[in-house]
Structure 1
Amino acid sequence: MAISSTGLGSGLDVESIVSSLMAVERRPASLLQTAATTMKSQLSTYGQLQSHVSTFQDKARALNSLTLWSGTTATSSDANVASVTTGEGAPVGSYSLLVKDLANAQTASSPAFPSKDHLMGAGKLTIELGSWTGDPATFGLKAGTTSVTVDIGPGESSLAAVRDKINAAGAGVTATVIYDASGARLSIRSTQTGAENGFRISAEEQEPGAGGLGLAKLAFDPEDGTVSGLSLNQSATNARATLNGIDIESASNTLTDVADGMTIKLLKKSASPIDLQVAQDTESMKTKVTEFVNAYNELSKFIATQTKYNADSKTAGKLQGDRTVIGLQSQLREILRGTSTAPSALRSLSDAGLEVQKDGTIKLESKKLDAALATPAELRKLMSSSDLSNETSSGIVFRFAKLADSILGTEGPLESRTSGIQSSIDRNNKRVSDMETRLAQTEKRIRAQYQSLDANMAKLSGLSSYVSGQLAALSRNS
């Protein structure tokens, strides 16, 4: 480590002198660094502002959604009998539903086997989907389907292995081993409900099963008179109901095509009709209005905080005097206090319970909003009607969304301002870097000058001491 001895010979405090001079030289750089800190703070604040505007934009767009104002909700007078939901296009209405029968899947089970490891022997099972009709029953193959053959090899003939082979075949049925006091039974069930989804199974034994209990015990074909195979537990049936007195039959217990936009799920038979009501979803509308108000208030309060000056503490907000932000605040307030000439019984936000406060925020009057929601079509006109040729005929929230779009656009004022601040920071950093280079050179030059001065003063001090010594000697010898 280099040890500086500057000033030791002359008594001159060179380090303090250089430090004092450089402190003066560094003042412009310090001012630039302070400016950089201020600009970085502004840039961060603009980032927060963009976040608030983006949230506000999302909530305004939600109120401009056509699906929101056409949305419906449905209720059932007996949710144990049927549930009901609505989607896009569901009209408001009232329905009477009587559930006569539920749709069922065909289920059949085998005789009892000693265990799931019982060997069924090798052979084939052929599975067909279709409907059973008449008495005696006759089988009709389901349109668009073909039979599926399940091959059972000698090394894969346990009851559990046969179950797995059936399930892997994709034949429209599922197999399960169920245990009771008699042993293990194979239960086979259609994967879908409805009369057309019954099944027929034929068996071909190429190798007998253990104890004479082979694949033939898994056959099911009443038409062929097969009685030693699977036993029928549940027939495949359609759901039957009436909706507003009109007979309905369905292979599924979920009715999706009986009324526009409405889905009815049948749960059990009913002794008498139940009521299904479809009404406009005003709760969702109210939620979106509330979210919009909250987003607006958060944005308004943020701008107010960042642009105000506190006379007591003599401190200013980070964006105090910023023309871009003040201009945004002015535009927001202008739209907020505006009216819409769109044909509607509601002309201003105040008519819908959105009361403008002195500080520029909105207070939501719930009862007044509920009254406006009694006529959602009129409220939609006030909020989100669009007329690109006439601004005053557009909904007020539509104008807010349009303003937010322009503010957040790639060429919008926020993007331009943040880009400008960042450019200023970059230029400032370049000036600081250049200045630091010059300051290093200046310090080197000043230090060299004072080191030379120090050396010369040390020489003069030595010469002075020598002359004083000689004069003293001469005085003693005289």
Structure 2
Amino acid sequence: MASISSLGIGSGLDLNGLLDQLKEAEEEKLVPIIEQQETQKAKISAYGQLQSALSAFQDSADALNDSALYESLSTNVGGEAITATADAEAQPGSYNVSVETLATRGTLASDGVATADEAITTDPQKLTLNFAGSPSQEVDIAADSSLEDIRDAINANEDAGVNATIVNDGTDFRLALSSRETGAAASIESFSFDGTAPFSADTDNTLQSGTDAALNVNGIAITSSTNQVEGAIQGVTLNLQEEGESTVKIEQDTLAVREAVTSFVDAYNDLKGTMGELTSFDAETGAAGELLGDSAIRTVESRMRSVLSGGVEGEFSMLSDIGISLKTDGTLEIDSDELDNAIANNQDALSAFFVGSSDETGMAGQVNTMVEQLLSANGTVTGAITGAENSIESLGERYTRMEQSIDQTISRYRTQFGQLDGIIAQMNQTSSYLNQQFDALDAQLGRD
């Protein structure tokens, strides 16, 4: 049988086209597998959305599961004289604060010298800095130092107690010193050299003594070396801004608690909305959510409903006791007046409701435990994701096997078509030969 190098050459038939059609028909067997893979991928993405919404709800529950939230205090300041912050040791109360003077830094300048960058010392020596109520400090001055070098030596010394700059008074250059700390005790008073002094302190004209802050809190006189006053009011730091009158009110931070409760409700409603989208169905278009009818999401909904409709021990035992109700559509709704009343008048009971006696006994703790179980390695959501991933892997293997089977089938068709092409070609050759012989015979008979 003759060898056919290209299908159809021998027979004149479009065998390659026919083979392509057969291949396309065979590859239709792959379409359902691809569609199932896409379905599983869509489910994994949907489970990811569910995980994110559950984690956000868990975070909101964690915030409510902290007893410190219900003990936090806010600081309200009236007037411009001060600002204030409170820590955990502060106690509720109201205070009148009168700032009489602010704490200031002492300053002192030297006599003038002609230049700032030429040497004014010969030998190395020590510069002694004297303060009103603090120990004196010594600064090493190198030989052949200029005014700029002396300035730099002072600023490089962490214990010098002053900052140094150079001021030009229009005629000469002066070394200007400013105490690094405010208050009378830290005030610079004078300085001296232990060798030949390149200049002296101008105490008559430039000395300005540092002062302590003076204030009055509810009639009690207080002095402070700094403008940041701690301890005048227990657990409160007063930052003095200017002379004048201010009021400070330390009270329970009801806003922080309300924001935490509102975030809890919002996070649950967002979770409920996410689950609604993932299980939706449009009767007109036939479009369905990726998790419509999914057992995992039904389990999540059931567990959520069970925890939120359950109770805890205490004065407040149900969400409805603090103004949070479960609506017919499954979302939560806040009665602002009832919640504000609970926050303003009974934060201890509110803390007991959400926190409980341990991390898991209050409402927030129960929610946190439930979400942890759902998202754990062996939990419902994680298990569903693992199942979808395994399905994709199995479908991938099935796709590969089907693809190999199709390749084998097409290869078999190609071989059979090649054989057919060869047979038809041979038959065409035989037919042509016989026609030639008949024509020759006819011609011979005609001559006879």
Band the TM-score falls in, shorter-chain normalisation: 0.7 to 0.9
TM-score (norm 1): 0.82
**Residues 163, 370 of structure 1: CA spacing in aligned structure 2 closer, same or farther, 3 A cutoff?**
same
Partner of 2:99: 99
**Residues 468, 53 of structure 1: CA spacing in aligned structure 2 closer, same or farther, 3 A cutoff?**
same
**Residues 370, 129 of structure 1: CA spacing in aligned structure 2 closer, same or farther, 3 A cutoff?**
farther
CA distance in 2, matches of 1:185, 1:425: 82
Partner of 2:355: 384
User: Secondary structure, in 3 states, of the residue corresponding to 2:415?
Assistant: helix
CA distance in 2, matches of 1:60, 1:152: 65
Structure 1 residue 459: Cα displacement? 1.0
CA distance in 1, matches of 2:334, 2:71: 23
**Residues 472, 260 of structure 1: CA spacing in aligned structure 2 closer, same or farther, 3 A cutoff?**
farther
- Residues 1:438 and 2:405 aligned together: yes
Structure 1 residue 72: Cα displacement? 1.0
- Residues 1:363 and 2:333 aligned together: yes
Any conservation in 2 of the 1:126–1:148 contact (CA below 8 Å)?
A: yes
Partner of 1:266: 240
Per-residue CA deviation, residues 126-168 of structure 1 (Å, 9 max, x unaligned), is: 3456544xxxxxxx52xxxx733231331x41x3332222111
Per-residue CA deviation, residues 414-433 of structure 1 (Å, 9 max, x unaligned), is: 22222222222122222322
Any conservation in 1 of the 2:64–2:261 contact (CA below 8 Å)?
A: yes
Aligned mate of 2:292, from 295, 305, 320: 320
Structure 1 residue 387: Cα displacement? 4.7
Aligned mate of 2:314, from 316, 326, 342: 342
- Residues 1:25 and 2:26 aligned together: yes
Same amino acid, percent of matched pairs: 30
Note the residue ranges of structure 2 that are not aligned, 5 or more in a row.
none
Aligned mate of 1:197, from 159, 162, 186: 186
Any conservation in 2 of the 1:108–1:232 contact (CA below 8 Å)?
A: yes
Structure 1 residue 355: Cα displacement? 3.3
Any conservation in 2 of the 1:238–1:250 contact (CA below 8 Å)?
A: yes
Structure 1 residue 118: Cα displacement? 6.0
**Residues 269, 81 of structure 1: CA spacing in aligned structure 2 closer, same or farther, 3 A cutoff?**
same
Partner of 1:210: none
Aligned mate of 1:234, from 198, 208, 213: 208
Partner of 2:200: 217
Query: Which has the higher mean CA deviation after the structures are superposed, 16-25 or 5-14?
Result: 16-25
Aligned mate of 2:139, from 134, 146, 149: 149
Counterpart residue identity of residue 319, structure 1: L
User: Secondary structure, in 3 states, of the residue corresponding to 2:74?
Assistant: strand
Pairs aligned (count): 439
Aligned mate of 2:174, from 174, 180, 185: 185
User: Secondary structure, in 3 states, of the residue corresponding to 2:185?
Assistant: helix
Partner of 1:372: 342
TM-score (norm 2): 0.88
Per-residue CA deviation, residues 218-276 of structure 1 (Å, 9 max, x unaligned), is: 4xxxxxxxxx5685533233333343444433322212233443111123344xx6432
CA distance in 1, matches of 2:5, 2:356: 80
- Residues 1:405 and 2:372 aligned together: yes
Partner of 1:455: 422
Any conservation in 1 of the 2:91–2:250 contact (CA below 8 Å)?
A: yes
Any conservation in 1 of the 2:272–2:331 contact (CA below 8 Å)?
A: yes
CA distance in 2, matches of 1:9, 1:189: 108
Structure 1 residue 73: Cα displacement? 1.0
Structure 1 residue 278: Cα displacement? 0.2
**Residues 418, 166 of structure 1: CA spacing in aligned structure 2 closer, same or farther, 3 A cutoff?**
same
